[in-house]
A and B are shown apart, each in its own frame.
Chain A
Amino acid sequence: MRIFALALLLLLAPQALAHKPSDSYLQLTPTAHGFAGEWRIALRDLEPAIGLDRDGDRKITWGELRSRHAEIASYAISRLAIISRDSPCDVHTGPQLVDDLSDGAYTVLPLVVTCERNVAPWSIDYSLLFDIDATHRGLIALHGAGAPQTFVLSPQNTHATLSVDGPSPGRQFITMAREGIWHIWIGLDHLLFLLALLLPAGLRSRDESTGWAPMLKDVVTLVTAFTVAHSITLSLAALKIVSLPPRLIETTIALSIVVAGLRLRYAITRPATWIAFSFGLIHGFGFANVLADMQLPSGSLALSLFAFNIGVELGQCAIVLLTLPMIRYARRHVFYERTFMPAAALLIATIGLAWSVERVVG
């Protein structure tokens, strides 16, 4: 009789089911150290997986869900691996929230993914619910600069390789060059150091008739020395050949401003080429720190580095082009050399000192 009962059910052809099968939604956004994300998992799926309805009243309450947070988080995380070039990243979950999607309530697990060496290629191995539901899918969206990259992971395809680079090399070059310009413009410490070096440019020759030449010679020498120096250390640091503690770098940069200020105060007439070069080295490490804070695809690191450096140079040139005519005009007046320069020198040195103290103490 049992076979009849079972057979009977099959007489009616089942209607296509309007329900959507099970999906989870994993959203990731790249950060300096890995990814930030949100993972939405249907409560309806967690029920057979770990059993949420403790009191068996067929209702899942927020209390029941909340009390199982640790279990839910460890169940989910044990089924997700995010890998940054062969080494697994650390996945942490924050306090869960709830989201009502069109097909029911989902738990929302905020994710913080930390990769020790956060370098390409990144990949994901996903196995949530695949052991119990062959039709489950993991829908992954990686949000970057442009449209999000999406992946649909299934028991047959549990792996996704993320490409974070996104923009074309040309675009990337422009972005990085712009970052370089921007950095030197907002980086007051680099600006002050450069100004302290530039102010006495061309002061050796008092002869008006010699025109721009001595001044330009000084400026070119100074800027070249500074550029060569910081390019060397920027490259060494960005390629991870040399690395110094950030606090040491920042403090030394502040001290370099003190030195440049004092030098301006007491030895005006000779261009400070050696200062420009030696402290240029430490400023290069400073630029490298900025670069490290930005998410750089390691595949195009050299290009990014070059572009950033070009940007720094362009920013420097702009400063030089803005200040030179002013210096040339101002130095005709005795006031400039007698009063303005010593005052400026003291001011710069004081600011540098204040920063040094702040950076040592802070």
Chain B
Amino acid sequence: MTYSNNNSAIPGRPLLAALVLLCSALASAQAAPYLPRSDAVVLATVPAGVRTAALRPKDLQSATTQAAADVESARITGDPRYLGYAQSALGPWWAAKDAPLPVVLIRAQIHQHNHLFEMALVDLDRALALDPRNAQARLTRAAIYQVQGNYSAAATDCRGLALLVEPLVTIDCMSRVSSLRGEASEAYRKLVLLRNRADGMEPRQRKEIELTLADISKRLGNDEAARQHYGIALSATPPDAYTLLTFADFLLERRAYSEVTALFGRYPEYADLLLRATLAARAMRVPNAGALAQQLREQYAAHQRRGDFVPTRDYARFLLDIEGKAAAALDAALVNWRSQREPADAIIVVRAAIAAGRTAAAAPVATFIRENGLEDVRLAALLAQLHVPPHVPSEHSAQPGLVHTAGHREQVSPEPAA
């Protein structure tokens, strides 16, 4: 369901929305340089741990240390500036074909963050050729294969970790992959079992595992379990961009709009939350929804002016749910689907295809889901609308009772419906 559909049900609403949009557009058009009223006016906040060293490291050791810290900052804040800092810190090694292993590894991570998966894989293949027992390279490659939907390659890399890292890391890796290949319940059960036995887990490790469990629970339609896992993950460490945005997406799906707004209020510096906050504000018909949408619109416009903008699934959601441009959203979602095949990427393709009345365009996605046996209650509900038979739980599922059935469907809300 799109917002324009909802709005048109009440005459006058579109006019009001148009007025609000027009006003916010005018307000932003009039935005001009100004002189702040007093010295005490706060203009910006600086993220924790912001880098101040502007000097380019001279030796390999300090360069890779600095670059690794920058990649970590990018992960926490979600601010791609840090990837630029990391690239600069690597200096001459960035472009070197025969760069040493630590550089190759960091370069792969920077490519991964920038969604240049093929380039990241080239570096990771090279890293593993240099050092076949390098756990970090194997783990990163497994993650990329998983995002690309290449589950057999991901599973091979996860298995390859077995003798290199502690069991929990290997099981986490394997659970993620197998949960996407028709063994969601079994994967969940195994991971919970091992998690309960482990003690003295490092906070970040705990968070990773809880996020895996939350994701599987969500796909199986077990919202209560998912909420608990998110709760543990969020309290394990200070927040990071990825955890916040997946949690916000979960809240949106559960229509917990005021919680999304509160989350955005608490962490306004996380740009990924703006889309979620805008969707929540529109669903609640809050007056500032138009202003938030306008800010988002300007951000995308500014990004496009740089000339290196690549459509993401968030951009497709923006086009579909905020701009009401179903055809453009479908195009963006399909471009994104070429490089990235997580359940969320599949969902936006199917939603946009339905909204645009081009259900045939979603056929490759439906095929992918069917062939891999990917379990996801949200996708199952959407695919039913495509008149594609939903995935029937395979014999791999150890606990068929936990797997979704048609009965779950009415609880499903793929996106906030106003």
CB within 8 Å of B: which residues of A?
3-23, 38, 43-45, 47-51, 53, 58-63, 65-66, 97-105, 108, 130-137, 139, 150, 152
Contact = CB atoms under 8 A, between A and B. Distances in A.
B84 A22 contact: yes
Given A13-B144, A102-B295, A105-B43, A18 B81 contact: no
- The CB with the most chain A CB atoms within 10 A, among B40, B139, B313, is that of B139
B42 A59 contact: yes
B29 interface: no
A58 B48 contact: yes
Contact of B39 (A47, A48, A66): A66
Given A97-B34, A108-B33, A7 B136 contact: yes
A104 B302 contact: no
Contact of B88 (A13, A99, A133): A133
Interface of B: 28, 31-36, 38-48, 50-54, 56, 68, 72, 74-75, 78-81, 83-85, 87-88, 94, 109, 112-113, 115, 135-136, 139-140, 142-144, 146-147, 165-166, 169, 172-173, 176, 202, 204-205, 208, 211, 241-242, 245-246, 271-272, 274-275, 295-296, 298-299, 301-303, 305-307, 310, 312-314, 340, 342
Given A19-B79, A61-B40, A137-B307, 15 more contacts: A10-B112, A10-B143, A11-B173, A16-B115, A17-B113, A18-B312, A19-B271, A20-B299, A47-B44, A58-B46, A61-B43, A98-B43, A99-B34, A108-B33, A152-B305
B204 A5 contact: yes
B56 A131 contact: yes
Given A10-B136, A17-B78, A134 B88 contact: yes
Contact of A20 (B115, B172, B241, B306): B306
Nearest to B202: A5
B-side interface mostly:
helix
Given A6-B68, A61-B41, A97-B34, A18 B46 contact: no
B78 A62 contact: no
Contacts of A6: 68, 136
A62 B46 contact: no
B276 to A, nearest CB: 10
B151 to A, nearest CB: 13
A140 to B, nearest CB: 11
6 contacts: A10-B140, A22-B81, A47-B44, A58-B45, A61-B39, A101-B302
A48 B54 contact: yes
Contacts of A48: 50-54, 85
A308 B32 CA distance: 38
A61 B36 CA distance: 9
A5 B306 CA distance: 35
Contacts of B46: 44, 47, 53, 58-60
- The CB with the most chain B CB atoms within 10 A, among A14, A103, A104, is that of A14
